[in-house]
Amino acid sequence: MGRAIEQENSFMQVLLKLIPSEVIAVFIFIQGVMPRVLLPHLVIALLLVCITPVYLYWAGGVRSRQQLVISTLSLVVWVYAMGVGPFRFVKPPWYEPWHGAVALALWTLIPPMFLSRARERGHASPGKKGAGVSSGGKRAPIAPLHRQGPRGGTRH
């Protein structure tokens, strides 16, 4: 499954493509070897937030700016919900586990819902693979290419 959101993706596929799971996995791994000091956690978190859109663009093939922004914010929401990284050092009332749970639940539902509705209305972002898609969501037929053969005639 590619990372770029396509016209024919279901709500569940859009949801899964907005979660930068590889970056979250790297973050969780790094947390296991980090000292319990704020500065290294803050540096690693900021570094991964900056790397996320670059990784998704080059390794995941994501070209939609909207998807890159939402996926990067998804990393922040996941880190907040897990209560790790720099959020490990935030004390109540500024952070409590239920804050992260509510934030993750809402974030999991709302952005994919808006992206799915925008795609249904035909407001897909420019630059995405949408060529050949009609307004009804079905692929339009593509005319065959005609090339000139070695003796001057056309062939398909």
Rounded distance between C-alpha atoms, residue 26 and residue 17, angstroms: 17
- 116 domain-assigned: yes
Whether 4 is covered by a domain: the verdict is no
Domain assignment present for residue 87? The answer is: yes
- Confidence bin at 96 (pLDDT 50/70/90): very high
CA pair distance 135, 138, nearest whole angstrom: 7
The answer to whether position 155 is within a domain reads no
Counting residues of the chain whose pLDDT is more than 90, the rounded percentage is 67
The model carries a pTM of 0.75
User: What pLDDT, on a 0 to 100 scale, did the predictor assign at position 122?
Assistant: 66
How many beta carbons lie within 10 A of that of residue 125, not counting itself?
15
Residue 118 resides in a domain: yes
pLDDT tens for residues 79-93? 999 999 999 999 999
Contact 5, 130 (CB under 8 A): no
If one counts the domains in the chain, the total is: 1
- Do the domain assignments include residue 92? yes
pLDDT of residue 152: 54
Q: Report if residue 100 sits inside a domain.
A: yes
Structural domain including 30 reads 11-124
Q: What is the pLDDT of residues 140-150, one digit of tens each?
A: 444 444 445 55
Separation CA 66–CA 69 (nearest Å): 5
Reported in sequence order, the residue ranges of 68-156 that DSSP labels E, i.e. its strands, are 147-148, 154-155
Q: How confident is the model over 13-30, as pLDDT tens digits?
A: 999 999 999 999 999 999
